[in-house]
Amino acid sequence: MTPEKSNGQTHRPAGERPKKHVTLKMLADYVGFAPATVSLVINRSEVAENIPQRTKDIIFAAAEKLHYRPNFVARSLRTQRTFSIGVIVPEISEGYETQVLSGIEDYLLNAGYFYFVASHRHKPDLIDEYPKLLLGRSVDGIIAVDTPWKNSLPVPVVTVSGHNEVNGVTNVEIDHDMAAELALRHLLQLGHRKFAFIKGQQFSSDTELRWNAIVRNAQKLGVTIVPELVMQLVGDKASPELGYKVARKLIATRKPFTALFTFNDISAIGAMHALREAGLLVPTDVSVVGFDDIQSAAFQSPALTTVRQPLRRMGKIAAETLLRRIAAKEPETKPASIIVDPELVVRGTTAPAPMNPVTGNIAPGAISRTSGTNSVLRRPDPPGNGAVEMVMTKTGVSQETAEAVLHVVASFLHRDPS
């Protein structure tokens, strides 16, 4: 059987395959393209973007059919690279890290790179040890996400929200001043003047910078920060439970606030649960603004207003920057930063400030509406399930809406007679 020819190039019949180990040259002969072209496509070189998609499809289909496997040892010897990257994260859970990782993964896979992921759980010994272990596996570079970084390494390093100025390290970070101004100005425009805040954990690399940005912009915009209404997350779990516990402490101060700005969306979700549990309505009584815009933020009830960090794009920028530095073969000796702009995403957890601020109670039902320092109204216990179900049945609205309607009616019936 003789090979077929198309456009002057040789293509073997579908059923024919070489019997011995398939080399790059054998694959090139099989598809009838130059070895250099096949190499660019198989190795997913950036130059391959200029090669027609039909050509790439033919090469990949033939490689799969012939069970061709690139010789990465030879490739590494030729290029002095292992085409592997180390990625260091605090943990892998729903939220910040997973979205950044997704962007890193997208770019590295398209570039033909393999990557290792190491999770340090904020343990100092692991933060110190993991870079050495990854270097021992001959990675070409390292990406560290939300991880304190103080080491100068013999390979390029890019951090996402690292914030440490270290020679040879490029940091990808959000503009925290813009983020703080977006959130505070939005709440001010809605008439809010009584603010509460939830700060990040002490070990988070973003905590200090973000809080300092909030303080600066609060002063600029005339927002008063009440120390008793500033709480800090405690614990290393990426769980709404942390925000829930802190929000309960805010409520327990009995100091009225109509707006809550949280460190991240996860803590905002927990805080909203605590507010509802205390009989406070979001956003009728308290508006809540999160930070990050994780995937589940839009699917809360009500949907969460938040400051969006383009986390996936930040991961992609980190991976792209790292591979560009690897290809340059001339390591940057000075610290460098890439600043990314945030965006305010307005959804259902922010609304105009109430005329009379509400203070909640850890025990549901004991809610007092205040004017200045004097309590003028007590809201009754939250409506019973029977009343909620009746409103839902009669109107077809959601449980959240039914509860809100009944709270408004109850507040009206128990309003201050003056």
- What confidence score (pLDDT) does residue 400 get? 67
- What confidence score (pLDDT) does residue 394 get? 66
DSSP 31-51: HTS-HHHHHHHHTT-GGGGGS
Asked if the peptide bond before residue 302 counts as cis, ω within 30 degrees of 0, the response is yes
Secondary structure element (H or E) that encloses residue 274, with its range: helix 265-277
* Residue-level length of the chain: 418
pLDDT at 363 over 70: no
Asked if the peptide bond before residue 283 counts as cis, ω within 30 degrees of 0, the response is yes
- What would the two tokens of residue 39 be? 């190499």
- What confidence score (pLDDT) does residue 250 get? 96
Identify the CA nearest to 204 among candidates 239, 228, 236: 236
CA distance 78 to 367: 72
CATH code of the domain made up of 176-309+344-356: 3.40.50.2300
Over the stretch 67-106, which tens digit does the pLDDT of each residue have? 887 665 555 545 556 889 999 998 887 678 889 999 999 9
- What confidence score (pLDDT) does residue 401 get? 72
β-pair partners for 259: 195, 287
Contact, 285 vs 301, CB < 8 A? no
Domain 78-173+312-338 of CATH type 3.40.50.2300: yes
Same fold, 4-70 and 78-173+312-338: no
CA distance 168 to 260: 39
**What ranges do the domains of the chain cover?**
4-70, 78-173+312-338, 176-309+344-356, 359-413
Full-model pTM:
0.70
Average pLDDT on 264-281 reads 94
Average pLDDT on 26-31 reads 87
CATH architecture group of domain 4-70:
Orthogonal Bundle (1.10)
pLDDT at 4 over 60: no
- What confidence score (pLDDT) does residue 211 get? 97
Contact, 400 vs 302, CB < 8 A? yes
* Backbone angle region of 106, left / alpha / beta, with phi > 0 → left and psi within -120 to 50 → alpha: alpha
